[in-house]
Amino acid sequence: MSEEIQKFTVTIDGESIQVAPGTTILNAARQIGGKIVPPAMCYYSSLKGSGGKCRTCLVEVSKGSEKDPRPMPKLVASCSTTVMDGMEVKNITSPKVLDARKGVVEFLLLNHPLDCPVCDQAGECHLQDLAFEHGVAKTRYEFKRREFDKIDIGDYIKLHMTRCILCYRCVYTANQLTDSREHGVLKRGDAAEIGTFIEKNLKNDFIGNVIDVCPVGALTDKTFRFRSRVWYTKPVDANCECTKCSGKAVLWMIGDEIARVTARKDQYGEVKEFICNECRFDKKEVAKWNIEGPRKINRHSVISANHYEQPIPEHTTLLNKA
Ligand code: SF4
Ligand code: FES
């Protein structure tokens, strides 16, 4: 007879939910959904070991558990703290959390250039959103910012190290999706940087996914760089027969041309089904895809500024070509 797993009740910003033991506060908040979900710059649900690096997901635990109701003495990273039965958590209702998040954003922006007007990630950058919500208009930083040359890593990817926030997502992606690890975080502390091992290029079949997991514009798609602001493109869901990946992607169209191909991201900006390099970089003809219809974009996203709500009519050139 299977024993029923006892669930834990956790309350986040006044909303309660029952979750399985071992669930993190962040994932419990995601199960509730809405504004109470803490932001996450380094945690990525489909990458093992991710989280615990950026501190944007800090929350206040005002009651530890039913058995031990003492509050936790410090703010904790919600992506790596598991819930206890009867735990009470404050996110947007805690002035301490909001103040700390402001500080975290200030730190993340210490070396970050004000590149948004020319950065390919603008409009879909998590740091841009975070800075908009929690950042301050001026920097207090008086020292020289870190400088790096832009580096070509492989045929398709360009690294702007100045924009990197060292979240490690791309490193986990390369480790977990490809056969060989060729890049990592070199050096430590304020000298840390993403680097390839000597003369190695990122040539693995699934390496293009580092572009999708990067929360900022540090890793850019060389086939799309500077081609268009993302809100001028029209995203459509499409699929293709692929022997390497699921073939489920989003085509970002300019007119009838495919400007770029990405994997599909959920409401937290995370990919569940990664796509291969061939689908991402080589299939730029509409005829190679079956068009499913317009991608649903959150109406608060700047991308929705140019988004249509109606399905594409059957007779359009796009569908005729597909
Ligand atoms: S390059 Fe992007 S994904 Fe990789 S560590 Fe830096 S910010 Fe994270
Ligand atoms: S998302 Fe939790 S520390 Fe980065």
pLDDT 10s per residue in the chain (322 long)?
456 779 999 999 999 999 999 999 999 999 999 999 999 999 999 999 999 999 999 999 999 999 999 999 999 999 999 999 999 999 999 999 999 999 999 999 999 998 899 999 999 999 999 999 998 888 898 999 999 889 888 889 999 999 999 999 999 998 898 877 777 888 888 889 887 754 466 778 898 999 999 999 999 999 999 999 999 999 999 999 999 999 999 999 999 999 999 999 999 999 999 999 999 999 999 999 999 999 988 766 777 776 655 444 444 444 433 3
Predicted TM-score (pTM) of this structure: 0.88
Closest ligand to residue 215's CA: 1
> What's residue 153's pLDDT?
82
Residue of 27, 54, 172 with the most ligand 2 atoms within 8 Å of its CB, for mutation? 54
CATH topology of domain 126-137+145-221: Alpha-Beta Plaits (3.30.70)
Q: Is 283 in the pocket of ligand 1 (CB under 6 A)?
A: no
What distance in Å separates the CA atoms of residue 185 and residue 164, rounded to the nearest whole number? 11
Closest CA to 126 of 306, 270, 19, 315: 270
Q: What share of the chain is helix, strand, coil (3-state, %, to 5)?
A: 25, 20, 55
Q: What is the distance in A from the centroid of ligand 1 to the CA of 168?
A: 6
Q: In what order do the strands lie in the sheet with 234-239?
A: 257-262, 248-254, 234-239, 290-294
CA–CA distance, 80 with 26 (Å, rounded to integer): 8
Strands lying side by side in the sheet with 219-221: 151-153, 157-159, 219-221
166: Cβ below 6 Å to ligand 1?
yes
CATH of domain 8-105: 3.10.20.740
Give the end-to-end CA distance of the chain in Å, rounded to a whole number: 52
> What order do you get walking across the sheet with 87-90 strand by strand?
15-19, 8-12, 87-90, 58-63, 76-77
24 neighbors 79 (Cβ within 8 angstroms):
yes
H-helix or E-strand containing 292? strand 290-294
With both helix axes pointing from N to C terminus, report the angle between 126-134 and 95-108 in degrees, rounded to the nearest 10: 130
Query: Are 236 and 248 a contacting pair, CB within 8 Å?
Result: no
Q: Measured in angstroms, how far is the CA atom of residue 230 from the centroid of ligand 2? A: 26
Q: Where are the beta strands (DSSP E) in 72-226?
A: 76-77, 87-90, 151-153, 157-159, 183-186, 193-196, 219-221
Ligand 1 centroid to residue 72 C-alpha, Å: 31
216 lines ligand 1 (CB under 6 A): yes
Sign of CA dihedral 287, 240, 121, 136: positive
Supply the residue whose CA is at minimum distance from atom 7 of ligand 1. 164
Q: Which of 287, 208, 283 is nearest to 247 (CA)?
A: 283
173 CA closest ligand 1 atom index: 3
Q: Which residue's entry shows tokens 């309350």?
A: 11
Cβ–ligand 1 contact at 170 (below 6 Å): yes
Q: What is the pLDDT of residue 191?
A: 84
Closest atom of ligand 1 relative to the 168 alpha carbon: 5
Q: What is the pLDDT of residue 196?
A: 73
Residue matched to tokens 């005729």: 320
Give residue 305's pLDDT: 72
Please say whether the dihedral angle defined by the alpha carbons of residues 308, 312, 315 and 320, taken in this order, is positive or negative: positive
